[in-house]
Structure 1
Amino acid sequence: MSITELFYKQGYLLFNEDILLRKDYLELCDRYTKIFEGKLSHNFPAYNCWGIGTDEKIKKIDQAHLFDSVILEIISTPILGKRISEITSATRVSIAASHVFYKSPFSGIEGSVGWHTDTKYVNFKNGDLLSMYIPLSVINERSGTLTFLKGSHLWENNNISLVNDGAEKNTDKQRQQIIKDSPQDYIWNEEKAIIKQGGVSFHHDNIWHFSEENKTEKPRITISVALHIEKGNDLSEKVSIKNTIFPIFSKNNEPKIIYDGIKKI
């Protein structure tokens, strides 16, 4: 089975090979730990920063790739662009948005993210959405990584479900409702995204997923990227990302092309 077939069968792919350089993710993990804990200065605009230096259990920096050249280099590396094209048959791939997330050690329930699909928040008018997840810290069963519901991307109406809410903390209650709403012949199958540092995962915009609290003594630090996928050979010269649900960071929305099958980028 090809990686394309596997992706569209289960709704996500996990890659544990060393896509990223060790020196890059180790340096970033150390630096962003200090930034999020308020121990290191930075140049990110205030409106891109959430919870830095506070007791918030989940902190994040939006559009980090526009202000950190190392982040940009990592998420735009040619091997990723080519892999994304292989998975989706994309002609052009662009970075629509990026987020660096920090989940506090022993975060408790406030460090969890509820069951949701990305279509709840993003619906590109002129392209498809693919989500990319890159761990900078060590990820294991207890660190609060993503958990995917295998094959659920094939279901209709996920995005209008009343329990589709990433802000919800009662994930067990959400799960029970999703079970009731799932196809009658569906066999429940959750898989945690256990990916080593230097690896990467991709997931479909309609797949159910959530993340538990961090139960370890180390912070969980990850990069999440919203990728704009375009297909066909009749594309405009300039990338124009139009999200029909809400504007993506209108203050600093500068799409970055990481793969162009026509121009051979």
Structure 2
Amino acid sequence: MTTLEASLRAVGHPVLMPYVTGGVTENWLDYVHAAVDAGADAVEIGIPFSDPVIDGPVIQAASVQALERGTTPDTVMRDLAAYRGSVPLVVMTYYNLVHRYGHAAFARRLVEAGVSGVVLADLPMEEAAEWTEVADAAGIATVLLAAPSTPDSRLEEVCTRSQGFVYAMGVMGVTGERAVLADSARDIADRVKAVADKPVLVGVGVSTPENAALLSAHADGVIIGAPVMRRIAEGGSVADLVAGFRAALG
């Protein structure tokens, strides 16, 4: 069992994992700390990429803003040296950045930054072995995605090979806020829970505390990205947002 999985299993309640785009503002780490202080059980840190294929408009805008500020993998991980929270950090980014950086060097920088897991959204399971071998040796959990379109025959392998937790995508398509929880979010949660031997977290389309509460009966927790990044863009309180989700999840 990876360190990340052990941490998520130990929380004793539905897991709440907010997402923050690294480098979106000069003080972006303050939002991470606000989320942790408000009850987050882990935080997903986005390393911005110029072609974020699964990110919707809110997170795309945050990525553009971060890139225009000169954000790179190195600046994000440099800033994480000041992280003072006790909950795990999971990096979400795209494989091109890892490939250009070099597998061993990227894994080493993640460890140095205190990161315990990584989601490479566009790296197919069949092509992940070279990266996962290096990541495993470094103690970095590679989290795999399960989509509503994933057939049962493939889903079981995704769940077996995913580390830390399984990221169940609530809807097909890009991230974003939706007023009503899609039936596909409950369906994929149930399908993954039926075959997974590790925590199952639902992300993409989890927009409200009510959505999160509904999903807590089907999964082990939720990941919230677009609502957090919209709150940051509008200058609102991330702490209040996360506290609302925490209260709904229990």
- After TM superposition, the score normalised by the length of structure 2 is 0.26
Q: Which protein has the larger Cα radius of gyration, Structure 1 or Structure 2? A: 1
More strand by share: 1
More helix by share: 2
- After TM superposition, the score normalised by the length of structure 1 is 0.25
